[in-house]
Amino acid sequence: MDMQSSLLDRLFDAGLLIDTGVEGLYGRGGAFEDVIARFERMIDAYGGGDGAEAMRFPPGMNRAHFETSGYMKSFPQLAGTVHSFCGGDLDHMSLLQCMEVGSDWTQEQKATDIVLTPAACYPLYPTIARRGPLPAGGGLYDLQSYCFRHEPSNDPARQQLFRMREYVCMGTQEHVTNFRQSWMDRGLEMMDKVGLDVAIDVANDPFFGRAGRMLANNQRDQNLKFELLIPVTSAAKPTACMSFNYHQDAFGAKWGLTLEDGSVAHTACVGFGLERIALALFSRHGMEIAEWPQAVREALGYPG
């Protein structure tokens, strides 16, 4: 059995994840959720003093905003749309007939105004743009959302619906790149506290197709994306558990985000893959939280 399915089986057996019959779509047991809640409190302890504005969006977003974002240009393979039945009585009868004979009943489903959120920060940019120019000193936002990506896998660290906690910073180039650097330092410190081995490396997004390869190379050459890597199913191929992205003024220009002086805002975001961090902890310290090293339990606030 490969390392990925064996970790997944151990998580199922321990009741930490719950099988749904679909790869990458899992229920979470109470102990698993508790680890995520505790890790988020640790994030709050590090970031809470920065004065970020907290916002929580649901896991679906405005389809028009999604279209403006350009997601379908870069990542069409990952997107998920929400479709619904919009017909009348006759359509309903033929739908039920399709289901009865096992043919494709989803053919006639129509697109709604909602698509599944691909990253926690996507609903933020149009929201902030609507407010007008950013205040002096820029903007800082605290987000968390379930995100959807169509990438079925038996690797428990590659889920189709998972949570991202994010901080997004808007301001001058210097301001947002300092923000990104400070979270790289904090990320290393936090993972050290919970006993995880980490490395930070330059990375790229999984841009689609041949044109995408150029975009990915460009992103790497310009150091626009870094990932914090932690072993989950493999020490040789560690998993990205945090990412640190500098968008230059691309999102600012796209959404019309401006600074007080009218110039286009630069933006950066820092994302924690919450399931991946919990999985890294279970993989490293074992399925029994009671047996985790005392220092790790203390860092996460488990009772002595």
Q: Which residues bind ligand ATP (CB under 6 A)?
A: 119, 149, 151, 157-159, 162, 164, 205-206, 227, 240-243, 271, 273, 275-276
Q: How far is CA 299 from CA 38, 70, 190, 193, 290, in A?
A: 9, 40, 9, 6, 14
Give the nearer residue to ligand ATP in terms of CB position, either 95 or 184: 184
Answer for the pair 266, 173: CB distance below 8 angstroms, yes or no. Answer: yes
Minimum gap (Å) between residue 44 Cβ and ligand ATP: 18
- Report the alpha-carbon distance of residue 72 to residue 79 in Å, rounded: 7
The owner of tokens 């150091």 is 223
Determine the straight-line distance between the first and last CA of the chain, rounded to whole angstroms: 37
Give the nearer residue to ligand ATP in terms of CB position, either 149 or 297: 149
Minimum gap (Å) between residue 161 Cβ and ligand ATP: 8
Q: Which two tokens stand for residue 79?
A: 């997107």
Give the nearer residue to ligand ATP in terms of CB position, either 206 or 301: 206
Give the nearer residue to ligand ATP in terms of CB position, either 139 or 273: 273
Give the nearer residue to ligand ATP in terms of CB position, either 244 or 259: 244
Q: Tell me the CB-side half-sphere exposure of residue 80, using CA atoms within 13 A.
A: 17
Minimum gap (Å) between residue 139 Cβ and ligand ATP: 20
Q: How far is CA 69 from CA 8, 103, 118, 135, in A?
A: 34, 35, 11, 23
Q: How many residues does the chain have?
A: 304
Minimum gap (Å) between residue 206 Cβ and ligand ATP: 6
Q: Which residue is nearest to ligand ATP (CB)?
A: 273
Minimum gap (Å) between residue 230 Cβ and ligand ATP: 9
Q: Tell which residue, 154, 171, 67, 50, has the closest CA to residue 118.
A: 67
The owner of tokens 């000193």 is 137
Minimum gap (Å) between residue 187 Cβ and ligand ATP: 10
Beta-bridge partners for 273 = 164
Give the nearer residue to ligand ATP in terms of CB position, either 10 or 256: 10
